[in-house]
Amino acid sequence: MMCLHVRLSLSSFYLIGMKRNKNGGESPGSSHSNSGTETKAECNSNKDHLNEAERKEEPEFSQKKLTILKSHGYIIGQSIGNGSYATVKLAFSEKHQSNVAVKIVSKKQAPADYLRKFLPRELEVVKGLRHKNIIRFLQAIETTHRVYIIMEFAVNGNLLEIIRRELNIDETRAKKWFKQMSEAVEYCHKNGVTHRDIKCENLLIDGENNIKLTDFGFSRKMPQQKSFLSETFCGSYAYASPEILRGIPYHPVLADIWSMGVVLFAMVFGRLPFDDSNYNVLLKQVQKKVRFPKQPTVSTRCRALITQILAPYRVRIHMPGILDDPWLQEEVMRSASEPESDAEKSGSETVTSDTDAVPVQLITKDILKSAAGSTSKNATAASMGKECTDEDTGVTEAEESIQDTKGRETDSESSDQT
């Protein structure tokens, strides 16, 4: 039986910290200072603001939840996202002196298969990932009725929001972000993990304007054998490879690479390459050579890389070829003479655990004011566990403008072997 779900991902709610213009629209940039330091007085002011937010909190967020999180050193602020069985809240970690995002999952309301299979799998995966371009997992707290997942907070929102604000990403920035995404995905693959839901919404931007891959809810660890194939449809139609859409066993590594190509296309052209409003049309489009719009102007080398990625799986470029591609190497050669930053010299950052200090961005008054405001319509529209029909999963006019895509899964594999 086909069962489609719309999931609530953390990335849908990293929408605060952005300036708003007089018309209420978002403009590029953050009102948050990226200096990484605050005075003791400023930190105390942040805590006071959060404590005030607690007193104004919605009734359903009970005192018991506050007590549990307080006992672990988290001062909880306003909700920054809600779904049918999860809430995401802004919080301040007293231990780390940094802002964090807390995803609160209700065991009572969450689907049984999510609690039994996908949530444990996600936690197992994120605990073992240590890369500077992957959002940091900090801690998981489980009680009788809830699971609390504490993650790094990315202040500059997600990639989809940036594309919508700026219409498209200039090629220099797109190259940087695509390279960072590629390195994060390559790291996952080398460690036996496939993401299976790579899309613009699941790529966050931190205070230093670096990409952070997030939302490993559909991820899985791969067996050792290279011939491993998956049969579960994961992710979003607009980012799904032809083999997934055809419903045939597929290699999840190559499926991740296809999704990366869709992201790159979306960045430089400001639209999705395929129209996912109609399944039959989509299936025909993905099996043909990708077509590029006339505007904006994109370099021949960038288009060539996209073409190699959005290709049939038998000839699709692999990760080493992507990282060695002339388009990406242009930037490497250009920046070779530039001095390395301290972060680059130290290599990949260590993923934080409950006992590690985490150098993430500190909360400021502007961020807290933004968090206390209304949530983005796109964020609040997301609903975990909502069953979808074909009518409400389509995205219209995908060729004209990039839209939100909803995570969906068809569970065609057997139980825990998926």
- pLDDT higher than threshold 90 for residue 362: no
What tens digit of pLDDT does each residue of 317-333 get?
Answer: 999 999 999 999 886 55
Query: Average pLDDT in the 296-302 region?
Result: 96
Active site residue 197: yes
Query: Average pLDDT in the 18-42 region?
Result: 34
pLDDT classification of 308: cutoffs 50, 70, 90:
very high
Tokens of 305: 């890389």
Tokens of 322: 């992507």
- Minimum mean pLDDT range among 155-169, 203-217, 259-273, 382-396: 382-396
Contact 194, 253 (CB under 8 A): yes
pLDDT at 284: 94
- Minimum mean pLDDT range among 68-72, 147-151, 251-255: 68-72
pLDDT at 190: 94
- Report helix angle 252-269 to 300-309, nearest 10: 150
pLDDT classification of 352: cutoffs 50, 70, 90:
very low
Residue owning tokens 């964090």? 100
pLDDT at 333: 56
pLDDT at 224: 72
- pLDDT higher than threshold 80 for residue 63: no
Query: Average pLDDT in the 200-223 region?
Result: 92
Contact 27, 217 (CB under 8 A): no
Class of domain 159-343+389-417: mainly alpha
- pLDDT higher than threshold 60 for residue 131: yes
- pLDDT higher than threshold 70 for residue 20: no
| Separation of alpha carbons 407 and 382, rounded Å | 10
For the chain, report the end-to-end CA distance as a whole number of angstroms: 15
Q: Which of 256, 260, 257, 292 is nearest to 274 (CA)?
A: 292
- pLDDT higher than threshold 50 for residue 156: yes
Averaged pLDDT of the chain: 73
Question: What angle (nearest 5°) sits at the alpha carbon of residue 120, between those of residues 118 and 122?
Answer: 65
pLDDT at 328: 94
- pLDDT higher than threshold 80 for residue 343: no
Higher pLDDT: 16 or 115? It is 115
Query: Average pLDDT in the 219-246 region?
Result: 86
pLDDT at 412: 41
Tokens of 147: 């699971």
Domain range summary for the chain, segments of one domain joined by +: 5-153+351-386, 159-343+389-417
pLDDT at 42: 39
pLDDT at 334: 55
Is 386 a known ligand-binding residue? no
- pLDDT higher than threshold 80 for residue 278: yes
| Separation of alpha carbons 403 and 125, rounded Å | 28
pLDDT at 318: 97
Catalytic residue among 197, 206, 276, 325: 197
Higher pLDDT: 374 or 324? It is 324
CATH code of the region 5-153+351-386: 3.30.200.20
| Separation of alpha carbons 208 and 203, rounded Å | 14
| Separation of alpha carbons 169 and 172, rounded Å | 8
- pLDDT higher than threshold 70 for residue 136: yes
Which residues sit opposite 104 in a β-bridge? 87, 148
| Separation of alpha carbons 83 and 105, rounded Å | 9
pLDDT classification of 10: cutoffs 50, 70, 90:
very low
pTM: 0.68
| Separation of alpha carbons 339 and 345, rounded Å | 10
Kindly state the percentage of the chain with pLDDT values over 70: 63
Q: Which of 242, 224, 223 is nearest to 233 (CA)?
A: 242
Contact 274, 286 (CB under 8 A): yes
- Report helix angle 326-335 to 171-190, nearest 10: 110
pLDDT at 67: 81
Query: Average pLDDT in the 1-30 region?
Result: 35
Query: Average pLDDT in the 169-176 region?
Result: 96
- Minimum mean pLDDT range among 18-27, 99-108, 121-130, 195-204: 18-27
